[in-house]
A and B are shown apart, each in its own frame.
Chain A
Amino acid sequence: MKTIIEPFKIKSVEPINFNTKEERIKILKEAFYNPFLINSDDVLIDLLTDSGTSAMSSNQWAGIMKGDESYAGSPSFFRFKDAVQDITGMPDVIPAHQGRAAEKILFSILGGKGKYFISNTLFDTTRANIEFSGAEGIDLLCEEGKLTSVPAPFKGNMDVAALKKVIVEKGSENIPLCIITITNNSGGGQPVSMQNIKEVKEVCAAHNIPMFIDACRFAENSYFIKIREAGYSNKTVKEIAQEIFSYADGCTMSAKKDAFANIGGFLALHDKDLALKCRNLLVITEGFPTYGGLAGRDLEAIAIGLVEVLDENYLQYRIRSIEYLTNKLIAAGVPVMQPAGGHAVYLDAKEFLSHIPVEQYPGQALTGALYIEGGVRGVEIGSLMFGKYDEENKLIPAQMELVRLAIPRRVYTQSHIDYVSEVIIEVYNNRSKITGLKIIEEALMLRHFTAKLQPIDQ
């Protein structure tokens, strides 16, 4: 068969609340042109994030009912720990209420002024946690990763030559960690090759720098390695994932992505001393080490999700459905990141809205247009999320102006995706009418979550 069907059937449904274009114009205005401030009831297709928005399986729901809510030493914790260890091989597993909490703990121990964390690309909350500690984050993405329209198989790779240079420049003693984000979320959900992971590991090992994996989408990355990298086609995705983790000294994971959980995350590592320090901080902000701020039932759901995500029928459907939407848009001439990534379609807003300068946040303007046209909610990954101000309060723009349309796992069907592509193409055909935005209120850190904007008068 040519058609790849969803490898599941739907047991329980959640109704969509329909509204009109006129209503959406009003709603967007009241949300200050920030999709994060729109009520979810007012959204038709929610592509804001693939984080925590997955549909759980019937098995996971059964796990929810089995959750043991003991404060200490719950069997749900031990099942969770076994599931994480089976994939990562790491002896210490520390649960946290979500990924950013695991990062927060790690960086408050390892960070601080004068420290540098190197990565292929750090995600927004990861970067915020690093900067909050006083340290700096350095992104060293390979050259092809920065070119949206050039297809290459592993655009998430780290630039190994640049890594060597930065280590010499900053001094290995000032680099507590090197972090590889798989897949590279901010860079378009693009995978990192096993070859690149190995090379980064060699460089890090030579300088005694531990290498950690930001593992949110490890299964999607493993699947890309299977289908794109020489020598891996006959391996199972699980074997590939295990090989990735075998090169790492530790990992953080938001289980809200590839573990199909609505909440949860963890930190896993080999270094016993560091694990002890992490647990000492964990009890302050998260909870006791055998629950980490999660209900026992959520630990069960993660344990089951980690097994389900390695099913290759699922991964084939998952990766193929993103590719399906990307190809439809390419055929219509819409500028998108190529090739398709693992969890989202990334529109190139700089090219899509070439008449809007970066100071007027073309990505954010595009999210507004998509919402008004079809009630589709996406997120800007550009200068609103990553931009900074220089000493004269002038915007230092981000490298790219993207709009991410993240596809929740196992939630939408092909007809939803067809609808989304129609909305995007309609907006593209009328793009010249879209105007830029200016910020009228913003927070010091992670401003994109709560910033208020308004259209620039013509």
Chain B
Amino acid sequence: MTTVAQRKKALQQAGYNTFLLKSEDVYIDLLTDSGTSAMSDRQWAGMMLGDEAYAGSANFYHLEQVVRDIYGYKHMIPTHQGRGAENILSKVLIKKGDIIPGNMYFTTTRLHQELAGGRFEDIIINEAHDPENEFPFKGNVNLEKLEALIKKHGAKKIPYVSIATSVNMAGGQPISMKNLKDVRALTNKYGIRIIHDMTRVAENAYFIQQREKGYDKKSIASIVKEICSYTDGATMSAKKDALVNIGGFLAVNDWDVFEEARNMVVIYEGLHTYGGLAGRDMEAMAIGIGESVNDDHIKARIGQVIYLGEKMIEYEIPIVKPIGGHGIFVDAKKFLPHIPQDAFPAQTLAAEVYLDSGIRTMERGIVSAGRKANGENYYPKLELVRFTIPRRVYTQAHMDVIAESTQRVFEKRDRIKGMEMVYEPKYLRFFQAKFRKL
């Protein structure tokens, strides 16, 4: 526990960037749901079964089998985390001048596409950019936009369509099975691959089960497998759905892509049977993937997020609706309407929430969006603060504290001033940027 005076000092030292706070100075850590899950007793038992052989570890074969059984992808290469898989996939598939359509950008994904010479084009439906719109599948692809892009650039310029399940930057919003099937039909027509950003596929499956016609009797496991069946490959950060602290993989059905990726993984990650992971971490991942598609687990997981969201709505705090899968996304533009986007309303709000109670959240607005190749800022429509809920870590009492604290900040919102950026790193600036109060 810290005092207001201690938090004020910690915040100044961190340049008003919650990423730069020491975790010891944080009371409830909602910075991310990535790598912060509590592992189960079975996963810890798996940790003790790590086979740390450099080549051909038994844990690798276990993981490979689980990826085949649960997701249905044929070939799997482990990586130390999701961005390791994105890096390799982008380098293998993207050529200079290529276009990669996707249902909203994600920070590291887009950067890897750009560094490989490609350009990201957003094809998410317009509803996704409106925090108030309660459309049930705000992760859906606008099929006209996608087809127009294909016609404009030609299928040869589009190495793959990038489809995220449970779209993070839109607020953890799901894509429907119907929409995914339509995207598959359209891409088949033009012979274009679909690569699945599957880090929260089980959470997406839960929303399909709850909201989409014909899926209410199906298990999460069968819905997850069906989703994957409409795609040709995937990048996975196992630090989310799969309940591990470290790890990820790249999976593809195409042998040639697999072979090229396997040759590349030794340079960046490690030999293809460990990919930069300890054997024990592959074992924990294999077990965690099984747990992630358990219906009771997902129900409790998303139930907790919805509990927090409904409390915030009750307190009239503006949040993205409908409530998403992995966190509550507070609408900073509405929360702090007097602060222009250039003065970083979401970054400011994240700092204020920390100051009030030691709760650490993350900016997902103009700072995260970064700059275009020509140096101009991206101005995203959504200017959000993400309250991400780690899996199986906090209790309902913690959720109550979070809602109450946010309400206190909401009451004094008129007195909050914006900020200016005083240090800006070249890549992924949100991680290490520093700010000053105006």
Contact = CB atoms under 8 A, between A and B. Distances in A.
B267 A280 contact: no
Nearest to A264: B278
Interface in B32-56: 32, 34-36, 47-48, 50-56
Interface of chain B: mostly helix, strand, loop or mixed: loop
Nearest to A276: B425
A40 B432 contact: no
A41 interface: yes
Given A298-B246, A298-B278, A284 B35 contact: no
B142 interface: no
Contacts of B246: 293-295, 298
A172 interface: no
B61 A75 contact: no
A52 B425 contact: no
Nearest to B52: A262
Given A284-B108, A293-B276, A39 B56 contact: yes
Interface of B: 18-26, 29, 31-32, 34-36, 47-48, 50-58, 61, 80-81, 83-84, 87, 108, 111-112, 115, 245-246, 262-263, 266-272, 274, 276-281, 425-428, 431-432
Contact of B57 (A40, A291, A443): A40
B276 A98 contact: yes
A285 B32 CA distance: 18
A325 interface: no
Given A283-B431, A297-B245, A450-B272, A38 B55 contact: yes
B22 A38 contact: no
Contact of A280 (B26, B112, B427): B427
B266 A446 contact: yes
A12 B45 CA distance: 13
Contacts of B26: 70, 73
A35 B56 CA distance: 9
Interface in A296-316: 296-298
Interface in A82-103: 97-98, 100-101
A73 B20 contact: yes
A280 B111 CA distance: 13
Contact of A70 (B29, B52, B57, B428): B29
Contacts of B54: 36, 48-49, 51-53
B111 A284 contact: yes
A75 B81 contact: no
Contacts of B272: 449-450
A371 to B, nearest CB: 12
A104 B267 contact: yes
Given A52-B52, A78-B22, A281-B427, A449 B271 contact: yes
Interface in A25-82: 35-43, 46, 48-49, 51-53, 64, 67-75, 78
Given A71-B35, A71-B36, A293-B276, A283 B432 contact: yes
User: Interface extent on A, as a size class?
Assistant: 35 or more
Contacts of A285: 83-84, 87, 268
Nearest to A36: B55
A45 B52 CA distance: 13
A289 interface: yes
A284 B55 contact: no
A51 B274 CA distance: 12
A97 B276 contact: yes
B110 to A, nearest CB: 11
A263 B268 contact: no
A284 B115 contact: yes
B263 A100 contact: no
A35 B426 contact: no
Nearest to A284: B427
The listed residue with most A CB atoms (<10 A of its CB), out of B18, B263, B278, is B278
A129 B267 contact: yes
Nearest to A53: B52
A184 B111 CA distance: 37
B267 A132 contact: yes
List the 9 closest A-B pairs by CB distance, nearest first. Answer: A40-B53, A70-B23, A97-B80, A73-B22, A262-B278, A39-B56, A295-B246, A263-B278, A443-B263
A203 interface: no
A445 interface: yes
A299 to B, nearest CB: 11
Contact of B263 (A38, A46, A445): A445
Contact of B31 (A72, A283, A287, A298): A72
A237 to B, nearest CB: 25
Contacts of A289: 431-432
Nearest to A67: B245
A100 to B, nearest CB: 7
Contacts of B24: 73, 75
Contact of B83 (A78, A284, A291): A284
Nearest to A51: B54
A98 B111 CA distance: 22
A444 interface: yes
Interface in A356-412: none
Contacts of B281: 263, 295
A38 B245 contact: no
B279 A262 contact: yes
Contacts of B56: 36-43
Nearest to B21: A73
A53 B53 contact: yes
A128 B269 contact: no
Given A51-B54, A97-B80, A295-B281, A444 B263 contact: yes
Given A48-B54, A71-B32, A293-B276, A284 B431 contact: no
Nearest to B32: A71
A101 B57 contact: no
Nearest to A56: B52
Contacts of B115: 284
A287 B26 CA distance: 20
Contacts of A64: 47
B427 A262 contact: no
Nearest to A99: B270
Given A284-B115, A285-B83, A296 B268 contact: no
B263 A69 contact: no
A294 B32 CA distance: 16
A288 B432 CA distance: 9
B23 A75 contact: yes
Contacts of B36: 69-71
A128 B267 contact: yes
A446 B268 CA distance: 12
Nearest to A406: B54
A46 B36 CA distance: 34
Nearest to A73: B22
A24 interface: no
A297 B39 CA distance: 13
Given A279-B425, A295-B245, A450-B263, 4 more contacts: A49-B54, A104-B267, A132-B267, A450-B272
A329 B34 CA distance: 51
Nearest to A444: B263
Contacts of B271: 36, 449
Nearest to A48: B54
Nearest to A42: B56
Contacts of A42: 56
Nearest to A69: B245
